[in-house]
Structure 1
Amino acid sequence: MAFANTIDDALERDLSAILGPEGLLSDEASIELHSSDLLGRAGRCRLVIRPENQAQLVEAVRRIAPTGMPLMPRGGGLTYVGGYVGSGADWVAVDLRRMNRILSIDEKDMVVTVEPGVTWLQLYEALQEKGLRLPFFGTFSGRGATVGGGLSNGALFLGTARYGTSADIVLGLEVVTADGAVVHTGQKAVANAPKPFLRSFGPDTTGLFIHDAGALGIKCKASLRMIRKPAHTDFLSFGFPDRDAAIAAICEIGRAELAEDAYVMDPDKTRQALAAPSDLIRDVKTLGKVVAQEQGLLRGLKAGAKLALAGRDFIEEGCFSLHLVLAGRSRASVDEDMGAARQIAAKLGGRELPNSIPKAGRAEMFSPLDAVLGATGDRWVALNGKVPHSQAKALVDDLEQLLADNADALRESGVVVSRLITIMGNHAFSYEPVFNWHDEWLPMHEATLSAKALRDLPRPPANEAARALVMRLRQEIVAVFARHGAASNQIGRTYPYASILRPESRALLEGVKRTLDPDMRMNPGALELG
């Protein structure tokens, strides 16, 4: 849908008065930044609004509504699916990072309510002080990734193997629609309900706004369920001679519900993890955190010593490595789960390895944001498909054949493909190919990197040939996912959604969209809507 150029001095004056001096951006650098993500540049926004609270957000949205201009909600910005950038030139970016307050931590009802700009790291640290945690509690990018962005884009990883994704911990939302109305979901939709403590009283209206890529509304509050932090945590790693054995092992461990985190790294991904410039496994700070997270001084010192002695040379060439984080209320329960995991791995030919990678990963759970680039300044983008465990081998075989057919082109272009394999609860398998290549950086890279990385990392020149190859293979992989009926997180504008639904399901989705956003102004194009 095309929109007229309707920004004028009066609109800017009004928005400036509503949002304050830091709440409205129109300078060239801000426009460039908010018109791109970690994949590429798209259209060009005209203004950036940065509300500080819900009242400002509602008033700004109501002021913009008569202009007909689209609104593009944005969390931390660390995505690579075009989810918050439009293809045209007349839209308003809605940057929610200033709405970053933890509004309440209810220890009696085990519910925490936050604004959308709260980061996963910020929330983890606030709950940790009270001995609490979210079941799923964040992504590796959680230093910058926000709760609102995660709920819009299906965030997963920390805790996902046992508890599922960000979608599974939400009890209720407050959402601002395209005309500035505020919709309450979950129990708080009931007029007399004092607290957001239950999600599914009646139809699940909360679920409408989860994983919606911001196409249905702007999240302004989220209430999430909490758990008490597990008292004991331990780690296991295994090496397998081939991919199929590693996949069989992680799927069985998932079905048995033994781990909070479970992931397989292929040889390339393992080398990348062990070649990071910060050298997590030998870093003194990380060793200190490993010691601190262990129960008891002696046990902690032993764990730190083992981590240091393992170094970076303990995984054989060609090894597919499986890494587990196991947690529970008692040492005995964790030991029992570890024993069961060892039996599964042994039956499938796995050899136990030093547990350095998962231990270091949990010691430094939220990676420095310099990880938006590779260790040599290379760019990367990932794709992901989720299928039932029973379809895992078929999906992987198809994708690996596609990559094998393009092996010569990848090698000639200097593009490296690694794979990360994970599980979600006891029912889903996730396969994630990751492309690394040297190419010019984007504004989001520049804005996210630390001063040290900006100084030390080499800046590659534009590499249009490698970029074109990556983009072509991305589309072909997306098509493979679609043939298998796979799900994906971070749908944005990368994965087909509306077009692959059954007709009745698509009609329902489009009906909801028309009710909430009749003029198709809320992130048009995301989910193939509008």
Structure 2
Amino acid sequence: MNDTSTTAREVLQDRLANILGPGGFLSDDESRTLHSADLFGAGGRVAAVIRPASIEELSAAVAEIAHAGLALMPRGGGLTYVQGYVSQTDGAIAVDVRRMNRILEIDEQDLLITVEAGVTWMQIYDALKPRGLRLPFFGTFSGRGATVGGGLSNGALFLGTARYGTSAEIVLGMQVVLADGSILHTGQTAIQTARRSFTRTFGPDTTGLFTHDAGALGIKGVVTLRMMRAPAHTDYLSFGFQDRDAAVEALCEIGRSELAEDCYMMDPDKTRAALSAPSDWVKDAKTLMKVVSQEKGLLRSLRAGAQLAMAGRDFIEDGCYSLHMVLAGRTREAVEGDMALARAIIAPSGGKELPNSIPKAGRADPYSQLDAVIGATGDRWVALNAKVAHSDAKPLVDAVESLIARHQSELDARGVVVSRLLTVIGNHVFSYEPVFNWHDTWLPGHHAAISAQVKATVAEPVANPEARSLVIEVRSEIVELFASFGAQSNQIGRTYHYADILRPEARALLQGIKHVIDPENRVNPGALGLGA
């Protein structure tokens, strides 16, 4: 709006306020500040925030903004740290879809659920659980606040990922608002006579174009996802390794064997952090009760509760790489068979079976409180991630660990702790995620997410520009290393290389699509490296 006259700006504001209704158009300083930054840093200051409550409102508002020629910055739950919705210049309009939070249809006959893009993964989970249904991939740890639209734009993964893949594998169709305000249907409802999005590959996969696009091609409004009947039985395994290479190979082999819904490994620092958070006995008791309630049968329930209570938080040795699995199936016998096979795979690798407290408690309460945007002592954190084939797992880990080791003394001196989370995706992908923690002043997104209870007990650290600069430096080097491996990364945003490392033919195709649907480059310009 800074590029328009005062009169034109006021006219546009009035029109947007009329379209969006009370609470739908924000131009106060606090809202603009919040929507001008993510959980890593601030960018250009947005001129205003629109908060549509339906795809019709979104379409109408975008059409008005198109006449003014202003950039649009789509935003889901606002919980990312890759500058994906942060403008590089002042004057853009932030598009906050969190008021588009209705579940539009649950079709139990066709196992389809249609939702607005601002619905959270937790909303869907809670709505489907009483019906005995679930999404195959059913969200991220941040699914209490993370939205479906944001997850599809950023390659969301974790819960169910080891067996069913990522958010991209469960979406069948979308309604996407383009730069001019028009609504594009993808998947089967692109066909004029189709009534529902029950498949996405009748002809070229137009739905796939808008998965993992960082919101650079359009703004997701309505999404149809496939459902499944929830597994009848679930169990858990944990193992400890003293040797990192053995642990990585065991993780990959479990992935190749397709045994688990979740399969992940924590390095010693990550394991310690998972177990050493300040004890909240009210929360611990609630988790214990959830563990008990999810078990089938009275004896199993009592045994599960007793095992979790007895394990406590002090059962893992120093230097332990801990590997955790969630195994699920239609029968108890099937799950026990998978557990036996998992133990047989782990045994030659030297893994020691541990109490299964971490995966069991994680599934009992799968969506973290949003307070988790900071660490237990108020520290900030940001993560990086790379996905490679299993054969590249060890070379990737070795290369990144060597890079981190070169900076270790400086990281220690500035109080930066690097931990690692390793996972598998389906039976063919290995994921490596280094996480940087350091004490530093909080950003607006942290303040918005952290509860009053935590703010009352955890002090905000003072500004720490030296540690922050070091994190930026090491992070940038790791991003370059990931690119040299040809790795995939989720949450591309403006952090990872993408358009600039595509082969010329692929880049020309993507740029051509962008030009057709956004000829003035107004939808999230610069994301994916497009139209920066």
> Structure 1 residue 313: deviation in Å?
1.1
With normalisation by structure 2, the TM-score equals 0.98
Distance 2:523 2:235 in 1: 44
Q: Give unpaired runs (5+ residues) of structure 2.
A: none
Identify the residue that residue 476 of structure 1 maps to in structure 2: 477
C-alpha distance after superposition, 1:43-101 (max 9, x if no partner): 10001000011111111000010111000000000000000010111100000000000
Identify the residue that residue 404 of structure 1 maps to in structure 2: 405
Distance 1:273 1:5 in 2: 51
The equivalences for 1:94-113 within 5 A come to 94-113=95-114
**Which letter does structure 2 place at the counterpart of 1:83?**
G
**Which letter does structure 2 place at the counterpart of 1:288?**
M
Whether the aligned pair in 1 keeps the contact of 2:51 and 2:97 (CA below 8 Å) is yes
Whether the aligned pair in 1 keeps the contact of 2:2 and 2:47 (CA below 8 Å) is no
Distance 1:159 1:3 in 2: 45
Identify the residue that residue 285 of structure 1 maps to in structure 2: 286
C-alpha distance after superposition, 1:14-48 (max 9, x if no partner): 10000012100000000000001100111100010
Q: Aligned to 1:4, what secondary structure does the other structure show?
A: coil
Identify the residue that residue 252 of structure 2 maps to in structure 1: 251
Whether the aligned pair in 2 keeps the contact of 1:3 and 1:68 (CA below 8 Å) is no
Identify the residue that residue 42 of structure 2 maps to in structure 1: 41
Q: Aligned to 1:302, what secondary structure does the other structure show?
A: helix
**Which letter does structure 1 place at the counterpart of 2:3?**
A
> Structure 1 residue 298: deviation in Å?
1.3
Whether the aligned pair in 1 keeps the contact of 2:134 and 2:229 (CA below 8 Å) is yes
The equivalences for 1:254-265 within 5 A come to 254-265=255-266
CA 1:396–1:5 in 2, change beyond 3 Å: closer, same or farther? farther
> Structure 1 residue 4: deviation in Å?
2.9
C-alpha distance after superposition, 1:451-502 (max 9, x if no partner): 1011111110000000000001110000000000000000000001000100
**Which letter does structure 2 place at the counterpart of 1:511?**
G
Q: Aligned to 2:64, what secondary structure does the other structure show?
A: helix
Q: Aligned to 1:8, what secondary structure does the other structure show?
A: helix
The equivalences for 1:115-514 within 5 A come to 115-279=116-280, 283-514=284-515
Distance 1:116 1:318 in 2: 42
Q: Aligned to 1:426, what secondary structure does the other structure show?
A: coil
CA 1:192–1:282 in 2, change beyond 3 Å: closer, same or farther? closer
Distance 1:4 1:527 in 2: 25
CA 1:62–1:257 in 2, change beyond 3 Å: closer, same or farther? same
C-alpha distance after superposition, 1:269-313 (max 9, x if no partner): 001100223558981101000000111111111111111111111
Q: Aligned to 1:89, what secondary structure does the other structure show?
A: coil
Distance 2:217 2:262 in 1: 31
Distance 1:124 1:332 in 2: 26
Whether the aligned pair in 2 keeps the contact of 1:376 and 1:457 (CA below 8 Å) is yes
Distance 1:315 1:380 in 2: 24
Q: Aligned to 2:204, what secondary structure does the other structure show?
A: coil
Distance 1:279 1:479 in 2: 40
Tell me, yes or no, if structure 1 residue 4 matches structure 2 residue 26. Answer: no
User: Which piece of structure 1 moves more, 275-284 or 487-496?
Assistant: 275-284
Distance 2:268 2:39 in 1: 25
Identify the residue that residue 524 of structure 2 maps to in structure 1: 523
Distance 1:357 1:196 in 2: 37
User: Which piece of structure 1 moves more, 282-291 or 212-221?
Assistant: 282-291
Q: Aligned to 1:520, what secondary structure does the other structure show?
A: coil
**Which letter does structure 2 place at the counterpart of 1:42?**
G
Distance 2:18 2:275 in 1: 51
Whether the aligned pair in 2 keeps the contact of 1:52 and 1:98 (CA below 8 Å) is yes
Distance 2:282 2:376 in 1: 15
Q: Give unpaired runs (5+ residues) of structure 1.
A: none
Q: Aligned to 1:171, what secondary structure does the other structure show?
A: strand
Identify the residue that residue 21 of structure 2 maps to in structure 1: 20
> Structure 1 residue 265: deviation in Å?
0.4
Whether the aligned pair in 1 keeps the contact of 2:19 and 2:61 (CA below 8 Å) is yes
Whether the aligned pair in 2 keeps the contact of 1:282 and 1:311 (CA below 8 Å) is no
Whether the aligned pair in 2 keeps the contact of 1:281 and 1:311 (CA below 8 Å) is no
**Which letter does structure 2 place at the counterpart of 1:27?**
D
Distance 1:249 1:281 in 2: 36
Q: Aligned to 1:221, what secondary structure does the other structure show?
A: strand
Distance 1:344 1:279 in 2: 36
**Which letter does structure 2 place at the counterpart of 1:143?**
R
CA 1:374–1:328 in 2, change beyond 3 Å: closer, same or farther? same
C-alpha distance after superposition, 1:186-229 (max 9, x if no partner): 10000001111111000000000000000000000000000000
CA 1:142–1:174 in 2, change beyond 3 Å: closer, same or farther? same
Distance 2:383 2:298 in 1: 40
Tell me, yes or no, if structure 1 residue 60 matches structure 2 residue 46. Answer: no
Whether the aligned pair in 2 keeps the contact of 1:140 and 1:157 (CA below 8 Å) is yes
Distance 2:513 2:299 in 1: 58
Residues paired across the two proteins, number: 529
Q: Aligned to 1:283, what secondary structure does the other structure show?
A: helix
CA RMSD in angstroms comes to 1.2
C-alpha distance after superposition, 1:428-460 (max 9, x if no partner): 000000000000000000000011011111110
Identify the residue that residue 88 of structure 1 maps to in structure 2: 89
Distance 2:494 2:195 in 1: 38
Whether the aligned pair in 2 keeps the contact of 1:281 and 1:360 (CA below 8 Å) is no
Distance 1:42 1:63 in 2: 24
With normalisation by structure 1, the TM-score equals 0.99
Distance 1:447 1:241 in 2: 40
C-alpha distance after superposition, 1:237-287 (max 9, x if no partner): 000111111110010000000000000000000011002235589811010
CA 1:215–1:168 in 2, change beyond 3 Å: closer, same or farther? same
Q: State percent identity of aligned pairs.
A: 65
Q: Aligned to 1:447, what secondary structure does the other structure show?
A: helix
Distance 2:172 2:518 in 1: 23
Distance 1:40 1:300 in 2: 45
Whether the aligned pair in 2 keeps the contact of 1:113 and 1:223 (CA below 8 Å) is yes
**Which letter does structure 2 place at the counterpart of 1:454?**
K
C-alpha distance after superposition, 1:312-370 (max 9, x if no partner): 11100001000000000000110010001001110111110000100011111001110
Whether the aligned pair in 2 keeps the contact of 1:61 and 1:180 (CA below 8 Å) is yes
